[in-house]
Structure 1
């Protein structure tokens, strides 16, 4: 035997009323005031992050050279999508591993990394800055590749380290035709 439509609706409305009543009475503001003593206070706990907070000057002075040094220890590491060890690593894994190993928080995904810090013009790029690229030459799109600036040799020679999908971790010049056409932005991470 089937339950008529009205009976089904009535059951749903009743169930919703019970749930709403329970929800409202479980909130502090809807509970009746009592004259009992206040509940015992729990000791305050402070969440401590394992990551350091630094400003731009501190990053440039104390951390940028260490980021570059650590990134270069991965030179020759084969590319592995999703990898973040010296057995195999991808571009965002390289950034994440290097920064996190010295206590500076860095997201794992390249487009998220591109949102850390603030954008700088090409003529303002310094060692330790981050570079981001799109997959197709001269086309806009999502950030899909990242690297760390290692040295500035001249106006047309900005070297960066990255995990190439075909050649593993290596250093290249931003101004090669391949990278220049895919470049999106440079970011100072702190």
Structure 2
């Protein structure tokens, strides 16, 4: 019995070592794998490095970002090409229910007019708990900052959540984009 337990233990260690080596080899042969937690952690860290940069209508650089320009800039840094425009970004990926949201998902809102039926704003989900969904975005009244879906302003304008991480990776590979 002891021998059988010992052999099972050794087999488990060898299997995990082989799997880890295989995963490392796969990640060096292809572009950055967005399905991994590392991608999401790196994306959110990179986005957070831009806190307090100013809002700029149509902006796509550190001189100033609009909401979709900021999201596009962050994803493009890791080789995922997204269009500029919150409505265009809203056509990508798979729709996700609020209770299935994870960090890295895109969150969409109406613009200033809460009665509109069109997407006018986008952010990147950074944290999800039972009580709130936190996201980072470029807001016209504060630049790059964190906000919460549960605040009155955003709750009234919420339109949906989309997952592009993992889905858009195949498109990025087909177009030949690489991690920068």
TM-score by length of 2: 0.70
Structure ID, larger Rg: 1
> Where do 1:39-54 residues align within 5 Å?
none
1:63 to partner: Cα distance: 1.6
1:98 paired residue among 57, 74, 80:
74
Q: 2:40 touches 2:104 (CA, 8 Å); kept in 1?
A: yes
Moved over 6 A (4+): none
> Where do 1:74-153 residues align within 5 Å?
74-135=50-111, 136-137=113-114, 139-152=115-128
Q: Which stretches in structure 1 are left out of the alignment for 5+ residues? A: 1-50
2:132 paired residue among 157, 167, 183:
157
1:62 to partner: Cα distance: 3.6
Provide, for residues 9-36 of structure 1, a one-character-per-residue CA deviation record: whole Å limited to 9, x for no partner. Answer: xxxxxxxxxxxxxxxxxxxxxxxxxxxx
- Check if 1:63 corresponds to 2:29: no
User: Which structure's residues are more often helix, by fraction?
Assistant: 2
What does residue 173 of structure 1 align with?
A: 148
Q: Which stretches in structure 2 are left out of the alignment for 5+ residues? A: 1-29, 168-180
Provide, for residues 132-182 of structure 1, a one-character-per-residue CA deviation record: whole Å limited to 9, x for no partner. Answer: 001222x24211100000112x22311100001011110011110100110
User: How far apart, in 1, do the equivalents of 2:42 and 2:162 lie?
Assistant: 17
Q: Which has the higher contact order (CA 8 A, sep 6+)?
A: 2
Q: 1:52 to 1:185 in 2, by over 3 A?
A: farther
What does residue 14 of structure 1 align with?
A: none
1:73 to partner: Cα distance: 1.2
User: How far apart, in 2, do the equivalents of 1:145 and 1:156 lie?
Assistant: 22
